Amino acid sequence: MSGGTEGDTHPTDDPEKLAGCFLVSEIALGDPNFRNTVVLMITHDDKGAFGLVVNRPSPFTLGDVIDGLDGTAAASIPVFVGGPVQQEVLFVLHSALPSDGPQGEPDEPIEGVFSEPATRPLVDYLKEDWGSIPEDERPEVRVFAGYSGWGPGQVEGELKAETWVVIPAKREIVFTHDAAGAWADAFARKGPLYQIILQTGFKPSMN
């Protein structure tokens, strides 16, 4: 289990700075859409917030949901559930694509992690070029169905209600191959008290 107190020294308690942070669900959060989830916050301003749950794989792959990928490496890319909103729409998180790859305008919420919709040029790149790169050299790719969205002031209210723990987002959690362990990993990174909460399931009173 990872430790450290990096979350204590990062200005993530300021709601204006949530882009590039993880919202990690509190241990008592019962909403089935977000229980034991880690949400990478992509954007956040006075109009609301947008993020992707990075640790909830679906039973489907990209080849299951997009036609024409049979026989390609891209067909086996897992599809994650990015959130409860517009689950018919696909989004992609990836590490830097080659300069001759699709020329979109992705967001970069944290260094080395890019976010954009699953556009046709991006899907064509995954189909035609991504699989030809040696497996250990390929850009990391995660595909998400749907997203997590908040209206103006909504996420701020959830923070005041202590629904979420906020920590700096980490690339290694976004692209982890241990989705089942990502929530505990992220939660414990808030600090030693949170490691105790994780082990006991009990949040001590701070009064």
Task: Summarize pLDDT for 1-31 with one digit per residue, the tens.
Answer: 233 334 333 434 454 679 999 999 998 898 9
Q: Are residues 69 and 105 in the same domain?
A: yes
Question: Has residue 203 got a pLDDT over 70?
Answer: no
| pLDDT score recorded for residue 199 | 76
CA distance 167 to 99: 31
The CATH code of the domain that includes 158 is: 3.40.1740.10
Residue 1 included in any domain? no
| pLDDT score recorded for residue 115 | 96
Q: Are residues 75 and 135 in the same domain?
A: yes
Question: Has residue 178 got a pLDDT over 70?
Answer: yes
Task: Summarize pLDDT for 34-76 with one digit per residue, the tens.
Answer: 999 999 999 999 999 999 999 999 999 999 999 999 999 999 9
Q: Are residues 70 and 123 in the same domain?
A: yes
The CATH code of the domain that includes 95 is: 3.30.70
Taking residues 131-148, what's their average pLDDT? 94
Q: Are residues 72 and 26 in the same domain?
A: no
With bands split at pLDDT 50, 70 and 90, how would you rate the model's confidence at 200?
confident
Q: Are residues 134 and 188 in the same domain?
A: no
Residue 203 included in any domain? no
Q: Give the residue among 144, 169, 161 at the shortest CA–CA distance from 89.
A: 144
Q: How many domains does the chain contain in total?
A: 2
Task: Summarize pLDDT for 128-138 with one digit per residue, the tens.
Answer: 999 999 999 99
| pLDDT score recorded for residue 152 | 94
| pLDDT score recorded for residue 202 | 59
Please state the pTM of the whole predicted model: 0.88
* CA angle in degrees (0–180, nearest 5) for 160-161-164: 85
Q: Are residues 131 and 76 in the same domain?
A: yes
Q: Are residues 142 and 154 in the same domain?
A: no
CA distance 63 to 184: 30
Structural domain of 41: 6-54+150-196
Rounded mean pLDDT of the chain? 88
Question: Has residue 205 got a pLDDT over 70?
Answer: no
Q: Are residues 142 and 163 in the same domain?
A: no
Segments in 16-163 forming alpha helices (H): 62-65, 120-128, 154-160
Q: Are residues 177 and 189 in the same domain?
A: yes
Q: Are residues 136 and 155 in the same domain?
A: no
Residue 206 included in any domain? no
| pLDDT score recorded for residue 14 | 52
> Where is 172: in which H helix or E strand?
helix 171-174
Residue 27 included in any domain? yes
